[in-house]
Chain A
Amino acid sequence: MIELNELKDAAQKAFPADQLSPDRDESWKLIAEMGWLMLPVPEELGGLGLGRDAATALHFELGRVLSSAPLITAMFSVQVLCAADKLANKAEWVERACSGEFITLNMLSNDVTLNDDGTLSGPLYAVPDADMASHVIVFVPGLSVLVPLDTDGVTVTERPLWDESRRLFEVTLEKCPVDRDLVIAEGDRSQEIGLGFKAESLLALAADSLGGATATLEMTVEYLKTRKQFNRPLAMFQSLKHRCADLKTQITAAEALLWSRAADMDASLADMGALKALAADVYQFVTEEAIQLHGGIGLTDEHQCHLFMKRAMLNLSLGGSGDELKERTGRQALAAFAAK
Chain B
Amino acid sequence: MTEGTELAELRQEVRGWLDANAPTGWRDSNDDHEAFAQSQREWFAKLVEGGYAIPHWPAEWPGGGRNLAEQKVIYEELARADTPRLLLSFVSTYHAASTFFECGSQAQKDRYLPKILEGETWCQGFSEPNAGSDLAALKTKAERKGDVYVINGQKVWSTMAQYADKCLLLVRTSSDGPKQAGITYLLMDMKAKGVSVRPINQIQGDQEFCEIFLDDVEVPVEERVGEEGQGWAVAQATLASERGLTLMELSYRMRGALWRIAELIRKNGLEEDAGVLRDFGHLVARTDSACAIADQFLRNRIDGIERVGDASIVKNTYSRVLREYSLLGTRLGGMEEQYRAPITFGDLNTGNWMADFMNSYAWTIAGGSEEVQRNIISERMLEMQREPKNWVVS
Query: A and B: real partners?
Result: yes
Tell me the A residues contacting B by CB distance below 8 Å.
221, 224-225, 232-233, 235-236, 238, 241-242, 244-246, 248-249, 252-254, 256-257, 259-260, 264, 266-267, 271, 274-275, 277-278, 322-323, 325-334, 337-340
Q: Is the CB of B378 within 8 A of A274?
A: no
Distance in angstroms from A156 CB to nearest chain B CB is 35
B98 CB, nearest partner CB in chain A, Å: 23
B window 277-327: CB within 8 A of A: 277-282, 284-286, 288-290, 292-293, 295-296, 312-313, 316-317
**CA gap between A238 and B317 in the complex, in Å:** 20
Query: In the assembly, what is the distance between CA of A296 and CA of B265, in Å?
Result: 45
Tell me if B259 counts as interface (CB < 8 A to partner A). yes
* A337-B317 contact in complex given A236-B386, A245-B382, A327-B281, C-beta closer than 8 Å: no
Q: How far is the CB of A115 from chain B (nearest CB, A)?
A: 35
Would you call A326 and B80 a contact (CB within 8 A)? no
Q: Is the CB of A253 within 8 A of B284?
A: no
- Which of these, A224, A241, A245, A278, contacts B285 with CB under 8 Å? A278
Residue numbers in A under 8 Å from B295 (CB-CB):
256, 260
Q: Name which of A224, A266, A329, A339 has the most chain B CB atoms within 10 A of its CB.
A: A329
B284 touches A323 (CB 8 A): no
B289 close to A339 (CB less than 8 A): no
A241 / chain B contacts, CB cutoff of 8 Å: 374-375, 378-379, 382, 384
Q: How far is the CA of A334 from the CA of B281 in the complex (A)?
A: 9
Asked whether A253 lies within 8 Å of B313 as measured between CB atoms, the reply is yes
Given contacts A241-B382, A334-B277, 13 further A-B contacts (CB under 8 A): A225-B384, A235-B378, A235-B384, A235-B385, A241-B374, A244-B382, A248-B378, A254-B289, A267-B1, A278-B286, A325-B281, A333-B258, A334-B266
CA distance A236 to B388 in the complex (A): 9
List the 8 closest A-B pairs by CB distance, nearest first. A329-B281, A330-B277, A330-B281, A326-B281, A256-B292, A235-B384, A245-B374, A245-B377
Compute how far the CA of A326 lies from the CA of B280 in the bound complex, rounded to whole angstroms.
8
- B369 to chain A minimum Cβ distance, whole angstroms, is 11
Q: How far is the CB of A63 from chain B (nearest CB, A)?
A: 18
A252 & B313 in contact (Cβ 8 Å cutoff)? yes
Instruction: With CB as the reference atom, state the residue of chain B lying closest to A276.
Output: B285
A-B contacts, 23 of them at CB < 8 A, read A225-B384, A236-B387, A241-B382, A242-B371, A244-B378, A245-B378, A245-B382, A246-B316, A256-B292, A257-B288, A259-B292, A260-B296, A323-B278, A326-B282, A327-B274, A327-B278, A329-B280, A329-B282, A329-B284, A330-B284, A333-B262, A337-B258, A340-B259
- The answer to whether B277 and A326 touch across the interface, beta carbons within 8 angstroms, is yes
A241 to B385, CA, bound (A): 9
Cβ 8 A contact of A246, one of B263, B274, B281, B374:
B374
- In the bound complex, do residue B381 and residue A248 qualify as a contact, i.e. CB atoms below 8 Å apart? yes
Contact B384 A275, beta carbon cutoff 8 Å:
no
Residues of B within 8 A of A235 (CB): 378, 384-385
Identity of the chain B residue whose Cβ is nearest the Cβ of A270 in the assembled complex: B281
Interface contact B371-A330, CB-CB below 8 Å: no
Any A CB within 8 A of the CB of B2: yes
Asked whether B137 is an interface residue with its Cβ less than 8 Å from the other chain, the reply is: no
Q: Which residues of A contact B271 (CB under 8 A)?
A: 334
- Kindly provide the distance from the CB of A114 to the nearest chain B CB, expressed in whole angstroms: 31
Q: Which of B259, B316, B386 contacts A338 (CB 8 A)?
A: B259
Q: Are A277 and B282 in contact (CB under 8 A)?
A: yes
Q: How far is the CB of B108 from chain A (nearest CB, A)?
A: 36
Using Cβ atoms and an 8 Å threshold, which residues of chain A touch B387?
236, 238
Across the interface, do A249 and B281 meet the contact criterion of CB distance under 8 Å? Answer: no
Bound Cα distance from A242 to B370, whole angstroms:
10
Q: A224 to chain B: which residues have CB within 8 Å? A: 384
Return chain B residues, CB-CB under 8 Å to A275: 285
- B residues within 8 A CB of A332? 281
CB neighbours of B289 from chain A (8 A): 253-254, 256-257, 278
Residues of A within 8 A of B316 (CB): 245-246, 249
Query: Which among A245, A257, A274, A337 has the greatest number of chain B C-beta atoms within 10 A?
Result: A245
Chain B residues, CB < 8 A from A267: 1
User: Within 8 Å of chain A (Cβ to Cβ): is B373?
Assistant: yes
Q: Answer yes or no: B59 CB below 8 A from chain A CBs.
A: no
